[in-house]
Amino acid sequence: MPNRSHNYDVLVIGAGPAGLAAAVSAQQAGARVAIVDDNPGLGGQIWRGEQRQPSAPEAAQWLRRVQAAQLEFISGARVYDQPEAGRLLAETFDGVVELGYRKLILATGARERFLPFPGWTLPGVAGAGGLQALVKSGLPIEGKKVVVAGTGPLLLAVAAYLRKRGANVLLIAEQTPPSRLLSFGLSLWRSPDKILQAWQLKRALLGIAHLTNCWPVAAHGEEQLQRVTLHKGQKAWDVHCDYLACGFHLVPNVELAVFFGCELRDGVVQVDELQATNVLGIYCAGESTGIGGLELSLVEGQIAGYAATDQREKARTLFPERRKQQQFAELLNRAFALREELKRLPQPDTIVCRCEDVRFAQLEKYPAWRAAKLQTRCGMGPCQGRICGAAIEFLLGWQPESVRPPVYPVNVGHLIHRASNGGQRACASTPTSIGRPGTRTNDDAPSSDAPTSPLAVGQ
């Protein structure tokens, strides 16, 4: 297959709400826009599966807008390197795609924070969002006994979803105290839409115990989860279950932003009022600028899409909405802040790094990441510290290190950059045009046409 690359005015990384909103907004200026995402479908985590099985009206609305716009979607493709300014490489199951861009919008979303406790590595213990994603992808859950635990608004949504799919949700264990939940609930009066959502959730969860000040301290089983020990006040008791869906709120995915040289503060990407990062031509929207939920992601995405295509006035009209959603985000993050007791969850022999099976006692003796990494290999496995990193930041206060290529593990061969005109690289994935039939504008320009515009940005 000849060597091909695809060039875009605006490339959006991430097909969740922020990415979709950014792409649709950028396209309104007539720009050639593409979205690249490592998932097979549009929607990111929160709208996973909405294309195939619509359930959220807001998702359907945005997916319709995406359909109507002339967008290209490069699915199942994970961006891992930028060998030169304005040119990205993404790996797919079949090979590599080259993506040229003039403006880049990072909408890389968030992942769950996991905290290590004895038994958390057993099959059957998954993230809350993790189990939901697996069920959305077809994991059979009907009749299974599930405990949902951890912290964050996601727990309720996951419990409701799993119940709808036939799971026997035994209880929800939320670590935050009821007082914080109450003040969070009271703050919702300013957002009627959120009250409605909350009310709908409550109905969906009728009959399921929702315990606050409660968290899992151990999971038990040999080859598979059999029961979980929960802790609340002075009490600890065991619950038999098939799955423990457990996540401790969210952490932003910032690795790509760091790789591109974007500035971070307190672990989130810093942006100006137009969602522009400090790197010329790179914008960031959604959870990677701070955990703020769906509505904030949508409005940030739109602003970024407009800003990246010189539609500044349109962007400005959205500032008040963004401010409102940011206030909500602050309340949200305060309500679900982790309590200090959770730092005592791992026992000395509890595995913290699941890739290299590094135990908590091995780490405690080091002052910072680098020494611990070199001596124990903690965080040096294929997840590159994405899972243990957030836990260790909470448990030991260590800040993450630099990001080098490949930003995700890829085949060794995909780090070999053949001569551009050599035609050796198999271009595996041809973008899917989401727009109407016959309107496809992708002409598979040869890579010698890679952007040379001064707008193209580098590291």
Partner 1 sequence: MPETVVLAVNGQRVIVPDGSTVATAVALSGATTFRRSVTNQPRAPLCGMGICFECRVTINGQAHARSCQIVCRDGMQVRTDA
Partner 2 sequence: MTAPITSNAFDLAIVGGGIVGAACAWEAARAGLRVVVIENGVIGGGATAAGMGHLVVMDDSEAQFALTHYSQQLWQEIAPELPHDVEYEECGTIWVAADEEEMEEVRRKVHFYQTRGVAVETLDAEALAEAEPNLRPGLAGALLVPGDGVVYPPCAARYFLEQAQVLGAQLRGGQSAIAFSNEGVQLHDGTFISAGATVNATGSWAPLLTPGIEVQKRKGHLLITDRYPGFVRHQLIELGYLKSAHSINSDSVAFNVQPRKTGQVLIGSSRQYGVAGAQVEAAMLSRMLSRAEEYMPGLTRLSALRTWTGFRAATPDKLPLVGPCPGSENLYLATGHEGLGITTSLGTAKLLVDQLLHRPSAIPLAPYLPNRTQQEAAHA
Residue 195 or 426 having the CB closest to partner 2: 426
Using the rule CB under 8 A, is 223 a contact of partner 1? yes
Q: Which of 229, 239, 340, 333 is nearest to 291 (CA)?
A: 333
Q: Which is nearer to partner 1, 27 or 39 (CB)?
A: 39
For residues 84 and 188, what is the distance between their CA atoms, to the nearest angstrom?
A: 46
Closest CA to 215 of 172, 161, 167, 170: 172
Question: Using CA atoms, how far apart are residues 212 and 118, in angstroms rounded to an integer?
Answer: 21
x/- contact string, 346-385, with partner 2 (CB under 8 A)?
------------------------xx--xx----xxx-x-
Judged by CB under 8 A, the stretch of 2-10, 36-44, 176-184, 428-436 that binds partner 1 is 36-44
Euclidean distance between the first and the last CA atom of the chain, given in angstroms as a whole number: 30
Contact status: 413 vs partner 2 (CB under 8 A): yes
Considering only residues 399 through 428, tell me which ones interact with partner 1, judged by CB under 8 A. 409
Q: Tell me whether residue 224 or residue 399 sits nearer to partner 1 (CB atom).
A: 224
Q: Are 211 and 231 a contacting pair, CB within 8 Å? A: no
- Least separation, in Å, of the C-beta of 40 and partner 1? 5
Restricted to residues 44-103, the positions that interact with partner 2 (CB under 8 A) are 81, 83-84
Residue with tokens 């912290």: 151
What residues does 168 pair with on adjacent strands? 145
Give the Cα separation of 81 and 349 in Å (integer): 36
User: Nearest approach, Cβ of 114 to partner 1 (angstroms)?
Assistant: 7
Considering only the stretches 6-14, 26-34, 115-123, 287-295, report the one whose residues sit in contact with partner 1 under the rule CB under 8 A: 115-123
Which amino acid type is present at position 100? G
Residue 414 CB coordination number (10 Å): 17
Binding site partner of 133, from partner 1, partner 2, none, Cβ cut-off 5-8 A by kind: partner 1
Applying CB under 8 A, does 383 fall inside the site for partner 1?
Answer: yes
The two tokens of residue 356 are 């290299």
Contacts of 376 (CB under 8 A, 6+ apart): 353, 356, 358, 362, 363, 366
Residues engaged in binding partner 1 (CB under 8 A):
38-41, 45, 52, 76, 78, 93, 111-112, 114, 121-127, 129-134, 137-140, 223-224, 351, 354-357, 381-383, 386-387, 409
Interface residue list for partner 2 (CB under 8 A): 81, 83-84, 370-371, 374-375, 380-382, 384, 404-406, 409-417
